[in-house]
């Protein structure tokens, strides 16, 4: 993705909410909502490329989502594999690198293999990154980070007094990825739902009233335009 001007966010993170309600409104099974949501994922990747947004993080499956009915979980995992197969060409054409953020080992083996394969074959692309948050939650990420820091302290590799914000940022799942500039949640819900709790500290928040399957190019452009009008102060006076 091309050079970004200050009014274009470098990193957009999205809570893709409302697939189930979208399907219910149409008298369809929930999985049809997720399938329509996968089309919005493709649209979001293309729009980010077009606008010059370098990082796109999508909350695709939370650690809490494991309590959903088994059939829905299996449907979502199958959809993820299908998506990776179907979108391979798009990844190459757009030169987008796929990455995963979360407890990937929790996912079914076949999904892990499909993800690993796609991550490997796109690892050299530098025009944009699509980051899928899978079996992810902000608190789980922070717990994992704290555990790693504690190990380093126990090994004598780190002094407790030296632990600062940088130590924590560097212990998160993808330490090289900049914090999101803009966080979008669809479906009108006004919650963070355990998403990137550390990284969203200074992000601009945007809540779209539409369900995720209806969130397409014009909606992402509207969110980015609104972002361009916000004044980010990071605690300073301006
Ligand atoms: C939230 O809507 C959505 C999810 C838990 C899953 C998101 C998954 C997709 C968009 C499918 C494809 C993803 C990829 C990366 C190909 P919900 O089910 O909680 O909706 P509701 O709140 O209306 O019930």
User: Which residue ranges make up each domain of the chain?
Assistant: 11-137+180-229
Question: pLDDT tens digit string along 140-174?
Answer: 999 999 999 999 999 999 999 999 999 999 999 99
Pocket of ligand 1 (CB under 6 A): 16-21, 34, 37-38, 41, 58, 60, 65, 79-80, 83, 132, 212
Going by C-alpha positions, the residue among 223, 231, 184 that lies closest to residue 6 is 231
Best residue for ligand 1 mutational test, from 14, 36, 37 (most atoms within 8 Å of Cβ): 37
Residues in the chain: 238
Between the two ends of the chain, the Cα-to-Cα distance in Å is: 30
CATH 1.20.120.550 fits 11-137+180-229, yes or no: no
Atom of ligand 1 nearest to the CA of 60: 7
Question: Would you please indicate which residues are annotated as catalytic (active-site) residues?
Answer: 17, 65
The DSSP letter of residue 137 is: -
Question: pLDDT tens digit string along 95-134?
Answer: 999 999 999 999 999 999 999 999 999 999 999 999 999 9
Classified as helix, coil or strand, 162 is: helix
Atom of ligand 1 nearest to the CA of 35: 11
Kindly tell me if the per-residue pLDDT of 191 is higher than 60: yes
């Amino acid at each position: 993705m091309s050079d970004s001007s200050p009014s274009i966010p470098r990193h957009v993170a999205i809570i893709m909410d409302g697939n189930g309600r979208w399907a219910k409104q149409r008298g369809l099974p929930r999985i049809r909502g997720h399938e329509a949501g996968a089309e919005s994922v493709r649209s979001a990747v293309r729009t980010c490329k077009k606008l010059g947004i370098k990082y796109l993080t999508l909350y695709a499956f939370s650690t809490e989502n494991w309590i959903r009915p088994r059939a829905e979980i299996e449907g979502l995992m199958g959809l993820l594999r299908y998506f990776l197969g179907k979108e391979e060409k798009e990844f190459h054409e757009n030169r987008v690198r796929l990455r995963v953020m979360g407890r990937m080992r929790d996912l079914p083996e076949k999904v892990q293999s499909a993800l690993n394969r796609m991550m490997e074959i796109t690892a050299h692309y530098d025009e944009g990154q699509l980051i899928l948050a899978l079996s992810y939650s902000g608190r789980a990420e922070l717990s994992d980070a704290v555990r790693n820091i504690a190990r380093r302290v126990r090994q004598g590799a780190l002094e407790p007094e030296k632990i600062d914000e940088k130590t924590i940022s560097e212990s998160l799942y993808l330490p090289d990825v900049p914090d999101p500039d803009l966080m979008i949640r669809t479906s009108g819900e006004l919650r963070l739902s355990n998403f990137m709790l550390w990284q969203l500290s200074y992000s601009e928040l945007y809540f779209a009233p539409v369900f995720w399957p209806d969130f397409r190019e014009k909606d992402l452009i509207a969110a980015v335009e609104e972002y361009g009008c916000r004044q980010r102060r990071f605690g300073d006076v301006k």
